[in-house]
Amino acid sequence: MSNYIALTKILLKNSLTSFTGSKKGKSSKIKNIILPVILVISLLPLAGAIGAGVIAVYPIFKGLGQEGLIFASGLMAVSMMILFFGIFYIMNIFYFSNDVESLLPLPLRPSTIMAAKFTVTILYEYLTELLILAPIIIGFGIASKAGLIYYLYAIFGFLTLPVIPLVYAGIINMILMRFTNISKNRDQFRIIGGILAMFAAVFVNIKSQSFFGGLSNPEQLQAMLTPGDNTLMGIMSGIFPANKLFAIALVNNANIKGLVNILLYVAISILFCALFLTLGESLYFKGLVGISETKSKRKKLTTEQFDKSVVKSSIIKSYTIKELKLLFRSPSYFINCVLINFLLPVFLFIPFLAGADSGMGVSEIRGYVLSGNYEGIILAIAFAAILFASGTNGVTSTSISREGANIFISKYIAVSYHDQIMAKIMTGIILGMVATLSMLVAAIFILLPPIHLIVLILITGLVGVIFTSFIGILIDLNFPKLNWDNEQKAVKQNMNLMVSILISSVVSAVVVIPVIIFHLNVWLVLAGLVFIFGFANAVLYGLIKSAGVSLFEKIEA
């Protein structure tokens, strides 16, 4: 037990310092505080909206005797999110964190290391819960005028909730790692694992969309809701049956049923933990053996191969290719910065595919596209989607952070900071355009837009991608997160990416809303976007050339 506490403390300290960055000095400290504060403030409206939504729908569900459904669906959504992110967190924290190699030789039981790492992972998940589950709990509490017991149960449940989804994620990982590490090619395994996990997420998304799609059919909904007495809670529990206990406990907080259920819920979660640790005793270390090995061919190059590999290129081209190679070959970077460009279109078009047989169908939207009356709006929406996609891939907004401890290399090589920044921006533009093209290809197949519209989208898209790339690099130059011990932390647990997503979302909204309200003509939209964003890009480039370069120069290795 004392080993567990000591190890957890060390791991927490480590991850906290890497989360807040490593820069010294007063102004950097202020910078380090500003960013999280902005982020929290900007997420407050979302949390507020969730809470307000719960308060608004509560009377309706209460009237039907199905108020438990509010919880059940909230718990389901949060559990799914935790499972999805948990697969990546556990993979990184349990298997690919740099501390693993120093922990292995220590006289620690596998379950001790696992328990400590599990604790750290759970703490991360509380952040996810705070954003979504906390507002639901508070909203429900206010609407139902709940008492102290309700909040007490809620806190217990809140703290327990991540356990079961994370145990699932942990077991999936342990089994995968135990039986695939024979391949000795960890990078490829991680990339394939990441792709599989993404597809699982897409699958879950489609399934839940069609479930809620089913709810939009009034007769079906009527039939499901009529029995009352919270019968629907069970349906929403899915692969997390224990969630039902938590929901029942909250709904019945006034009587003994509540107490029994919350205790049962905590007990089952502890049982899951025990099962996980027991399994880990025999599986964890076996999956770790050989984790740091990499496949090598040890084959001499033939003269032709050699001549083909050794070719002169310009500095910026060579640097850009290097950046792209690292993005494609590092699993965390590949999943977060590259793969996402192909997946966003899938996520964006799922609603159409899921709703194909009810409500707003593909053919209806196709009609809007082909009618020619809405081209201005379509162009603005496409532009907004491209801005969002290239702001979300984090290629430039994590490009300095990704250098990590090796940032010193940028300082001694004979490449100007301007050129290094430009190469990083170039990489962002290339991948942003990949996202644009993949969205366009999906749109061409599903919505059959006219050719001139495709061309206009490409032109404005390029201007938008340059804009987000400039913004991204400026954020990362200001707040580089260089102190990390696994690559995931450079891209996923990096606030710069959040800020980039936030800015691109806000700008997207600012573009789309007036175009819809005033129903602007397509050529006006085109001229407006190219002029405004072209001008913004010129200003941002000037800023990068002066302030950006001097910021890069000041980054201490």
Binding-site size for other proteins (CB under 8 A) equals: 40
Instruction: Specify burial of residue 505 (Cβ count, 10 A radius: 0-12, 13-18, 19+).
Output: middle
Gap between the terminal Cα atoms of the chain: 38
Q: Residue 102, interface with other proteins (CB under 8 A)?
A: no
Nearer to other proteins (CB atom), residue 125 or residue 323: 323
Dist CA 194 CA 192 (whole Å): 5
Contact 88, 249 (CB under 8 A): no
**Measured distance CA(465)–CA(341) in Å, rounded:** 12
Q: Does 187 bind other proteins (CB under 8 A)?
A: yes
The nearest distance, CB 403 to other proteins, in angstroms, is 10
Give least dist CB 431 to other proteins, A.
17
Cα 124 to chain centroid distance, Å, stands at 13
Q: Which is nearer to other proteins, 157 or 331 (CB)?
A: 331
The DSSP 8-state label assigned to residue 302 in this structure reads P
> Cα separation of 94 and 103, whole Å?
11
Residue with Cβ nearer other proteins (329 or 452): 329
Side-chain half-sphere CA neighbours of 105 within 13 A: 2
Residue type, 271: L
Of residues 105, 412, 445, 451, which one binds other proteins by CB under 8 A? 412
Interaction with other proteins in 198-227: which residues (CB under 8 A)?
none
Least distance from other proteins to the Cβ atom of residue 515, Å: 43
Beta carbon of residue 539, minimum distance to other proteins (angstroms, whole number): 26
- Judged by beta carbon, residue 317 or residue 519, the one nearer other proteins is 317
For other proteins, the closer CB: 274 or 301: 301
Question: What's the 3-state SS for 455-523?
Answer: HHHHHHHHHHHHHHHHHHHHHHHHCCCCCCCCHHHHHCCCHHHHHHHHHHHHHHHHHHHHHHHHCCCHH
Provide, rounded to whole angstroms, the least separation between the CB of residue 495 and other proteins: 25
CA distance 478 to 548: 8
Q: x/- site string to other proteins, residues 351 to 370, per CB under 8 A?
A: --------------------
As a whole number of angstroms, the distance between CA 43 and CA 546 comes to 32
Site for other proteins in 391-410 (CB under 8 A): 406, 408-409
What are the CA-CA distances from residue 315 to residues 138, 319, 329, 419 (Å)?
56, 6, 21, 8
Cα(412)–Cα(422) distance, rounded to whole angstroms?
17
CB of 328 to other proteins, least distance (A): 9
Please identify, using beta-carbon distances, which residue of 27 and 363 lies nearer to other proteins: 27
Query: Closest distance between other proteins and the C-beta of residue 480, in Å?
Result: 15
- Using CB under 8 A, which residues numbered 22 to 51 contact other proteins? 24
CB of 291 to other proteins, least distance (A): 12
Distance of closest approach, residue 405 Cβ to other proteins, in angstroms: 9
Least distance to other proteins, CB of residue 322, Å: 5
Q: Residues 37, 127, 148, 414: which binds other proteins (CB under 8 A)?
A: 414
Q: Which is nearer to other proteins, 314 or 371 (CB)?
A: 314
Q: Which is nearer to other proteins, 105 or 218 (CB)?
A: 105
Among 13, 257, 411, 452, binds other proteins (CB under 8 A): 411
Question: Would you say 237 or 483 has its CB closer to other proteins?
Answer: 483
To other proteins, the closest distance from the beta carbon of 423 in angstroms equals: 10
- Under the binding rule (CB under 8 A), the answer on residue 557 touching other proteins is yes
Q: Which amino acid is at 330?
A: S
Does 556 bind other proteins (CB under 8 A)? Our answer is yes
Q: How far apart are CA 414 and CA 107, in angstroms?
A: 46
Structure tokens at 392: 């979300």
Place of tokens 């050719």: 451
Nearer to other proteins, 127 or 414 (CB): 414
Q: Interface mask (CB under 8 A) for other proteins, residues 293-332, using x and -?
A: xxxxxxxxx---xxx-xxxxxxx-xxx--x--xx--xx--
Q: Which stretch binds other proteins (CB under 8 A): 62-70, 290-298, 343-351, 515-523?
A: 290-298
Cβ burial 192-225 (10 Å sphere, 16+ → b, else e): ebbbebbeebeebbbebebeebeeeeeeeeeebb
The verdict on 445 binding other proteins (CB under 8 A) reads no
- Could you tell me the smallest distance in angstroms from the CB atom of residue 508 to other proteins? 33
- DSSP H stretches of helix in 330-482: 331-333, 340-354, 362-371, 375-392, 407-412, 417-447, 451-478
CB of 20 to other proteins, least distance (A): 17
Distance of CA 273 to CAs 76, 88, 122, 188, Å?
20, 19, 12, 30
**Cβ–Cβ under 8 Å, residues 345 and 492:** no
Taking the complex as a whole, the smallest distance from the CB of residue 329 to other proteins amounts, in Å, to 4
Question: Closer to other proteins at the Cβ: 317 or 452?
Answer: 317
Query: Shortest CA distance to 333 belongs to which of 324, 321, 342?
Result: 324
For other proteins, the binding residues in 327-346 under the rule CB under 8 A are 329-330
- Please name the residues in contact with 375: beta carbons below 8 A apart, sequence gap of 6 or more: 453, 522
Site stretch for other proteins (CB under 8 A), options 264-272, 362-370, 412-420, 435-443: 412-420
Based on CB atoms, which residue is closest to other proteins, 305 or 373? 305
Binding site for other proteins (CB under 8 A): 24, 187, 293-301, 305-307, 309-315, 317-319, 322, 325-326, 329-330, 406, 408-409, 411-416, 556-557
